[in-house]
Structures are given as C-alpha cells and as structure tokens.
Amino acid sequence: MQRREFITLIGTIGAVWPRRLVAQPADQTRKKMPRIGFLASVPHERIDAFDRGLRDQGYVEGENIIIERRFWNNDPKQLARFAAELVALDVAVIVAPTTPEALAAKAVTGTIPIVTATADAVGVGLAASFARPDGNVTGLTAVGGSSKNLGLLAELLPRATRFAVLLDPDNRYHAQAMVGFQNAAAERHLEILPVVKRSVDDIGPAFQTMASKGVQGLLVLSDPIGAANRRKIIELAAQNRIPAVYYWREDAVEGGLLAYGADLVGLNRRSAAYVAKLLRGSKAADLPIEQAERFRLVINLKTANALGLSIPTALLAMADELIE
C-alpha cells in the first residue's frame, strides 16, 4: 500500500469510528429511557398541560423519557386495540385521562400502573377507594360536579319541570350519574328524560327527540364524543332554544350557556406528578386518588341574552367567570 492510500484509509477510519462510538451509546441510552403510554381521543391542550407537568417533574420527552401517544378518535374498537398495543410495548405507565380510556387500559392489564386525570375510578369499579385504590389504577378524579349541575339548571329555570340528559348509556360513568339525576329530580318533583348519544350520528336525532318531547332544559354529560363535537351540540341547543348546562369551561367559551366542572387542564397537568412517583418506585395501589378541589362556574351572558334568559343574581354572584 502506498503512503497516500494509507493516509486516506486512516482518515476514513478516523471519520467513521467516532460516529459509531457516539451512536451506539445513544441507542443504548434511548433503550434505557422510561417509556409511558398516553391514550387520548384526539390531540388537545390537555396533552400540552400533561407535558408541562412532566417537565415540572424533571422529565423531558426525548431526553429522559419516551412517550407513546395513541389517539382513538372516538372509535371504541381503536381504543381497545391501542390499549392492547401499549401493553405489548411494555410501557412503564399508561396515562388514561378519562373513564373510557381507564376502563380500556384496565381491561388489558392488571399489572401496568394506570394514571387517570378525570375518571370516576371508584364509581365504575376501577379502584377500591379514593384513599387506597388497591389495584393498578390511581391519579385524579373530576367527579363531584354533575350532581350540582341539575340544581344549577333548576335555579336557572325555576318554572321548568322537564329536563333531558344527553348521555351514552354504554358509558359507565354516565349510567351512574343518571341514577343520581333521577334521585335528585324525584326529590324536586322534576321529570328527567335520558336522551341517547352513542356516536356523532346520534346528536341530531337526540335534539329532535328533545324538541318533540317539549324539553325545557338540558344537562350535557362529558365524554370524548361530546368533546369532539362540542360546537355541534352547542349550535343545536341554540337552534332549538334549549338552555343547556355543560361540564367544562371550554363549553361555555364556545357558546354554551353555563358550565360547571373541575379545571380539566389543571387535572391533566397534576396527573404528571403521579407518573413521576410511579417511575420512581411508588405503587399505584398505595397512591390515593385525589379528588378535584375546585369547581368553576362559567356563564355565557351572550348566550343567555340570545335565549331571552335573565340569570339570577345568586348565580351571577357564584360565577367564577362571566363571558360577555
């Protein structure tokens, strides 16, 4: 081999060898990163809130943690498939913000910790109690607002006697809430009509049913289908001139009359602290499920005016936010 060829060969080896030395540890580091699964219906700001919460706990995606995100687009079959897929990936934690997602994850694993942000884990049998879950599901819950929503609607419409509840009977949280509404309505001598919404195709017919039944007020229960079709529900309520009470602030911001519920963004951000505890060795069974401490009342005065409603002074005084 001539001197020039030898120098060229050494230079080539020198250029390639360091890159291989760098790439191999990087691959090994990535394999050692904790991997968590995230189940959600569609991308939304709550995911950003969760990511911010992780950063607060010292976890940054791509640096010291890997996040496997799966969006099931309100398709129950996709939800079940994605839950099983995350289990097959052997993730360390599954983040399942809502009741349907937590149920889907629990159906395919009894060992991988599951963290929820809003699910009624105790009410639907995912956890033994808030204080001691005794299983693999922990996190936070947003239950506690729905029972008051009927009272708010009755106060808003003191002369009304016939209310509807827009719900999915296959959603175990909705089924449980409906029982509570029926009991509360009986005490107030009110009539409660369950109106079914299993898919987006049911929303239009549901409002036709309400109109034909002479419904005077509506309670809209939260779920992924409702969240994805928020604007359609709000528009149909306005077209049919049915005063409606929703659960999340976003509903009132988009034009819903009144919303009363927990801070959804805050709950998702706080759920990251549970993920961090689990990654550091805590057991889901030993982590108490936190109940939402603050519920916000938001009233859209523009929508009230469009419906010809005068908001009672007591409700205005209770409101955390008035949208004009």
Taking the mean position of all CA atoms in its chain, how far away is CA 291?
14
| Cα–Cα dist 212/128, whole Å | 42
**pLDDT tens digits for range 65-105:** 999 999 999 888 999 999 999 999 999 999 999 989 999 99
Q: What is the pLDDT of residue 95?
A: 98
CB neighbour class for 57 (10 Å; exposed up to 12, middle 13-18, buried from 19): middle
Q: How confident is the model at residue 25 (pLDDT cuts 50, 70, 90)?
A: low
Q: How confident is the model at residue 224 (pLDDT cuts 50, 70, 90)?
A: confident
**pLDDT tens digits for range 1-19:** 554 454 444 444 444 444 4
Q: Computed over its alpha carbons, how large is the radius of gyration of the chain?
A: 25
Residue 61 has pLDDT above 90, yes or no: yes
- Phi, psi at 158, each rounded to 5°: -60, -20
Q: What is the pLDDT of residue 27?
A: 56
Question: Which of helix, strand or coil describes residue 166?
Answer: strand
- Mean pLDDT score of the chain: 89
Average pLDDT, stretch 311-319? Answer: 95
Q: What is the pLDDT of residue 68?
A: 97
Rounded percentage of the chain residues whose pLDDT exceeds 90: 72
Q: Can you list the domains of the chain with their CATH numbers?
A: 30-142+264-291 (3.40.50.2300), 146-262+295-323 (3.40.50.2300)
**pLDDT tens digits for range 263-314:** 888 999 999 999 999 999 999 999 999 988 888 999 999 999 999 999 999 9
At residue 43, what is the residue type?
A: P
Both tokens of 265, joined, read 């963004």
| Cα–Cα dist 132/151, whole Å | 31
Q: Give residue 48's region: left, alpha or beta (phi > 0; psi -120 to 50).
A: alpha
Consecutive H or E run containing 192: strand 191-196
CA angle 261, 265, 266 (to 5 degrees): 85
Taking the mean position of all CA atoms in its chain, how far away is CA 145?
15
- Dump the DSSP string for 88-115: HTT-SEEE--SHHHHHHHHHH-SSS-EE
Edge-to-edge strand list for the sheet holding 162-167: 191-196, 162-167, 217-220, 244-246, 258-262, 295-300, 321-323
Global pTM value = 0.80
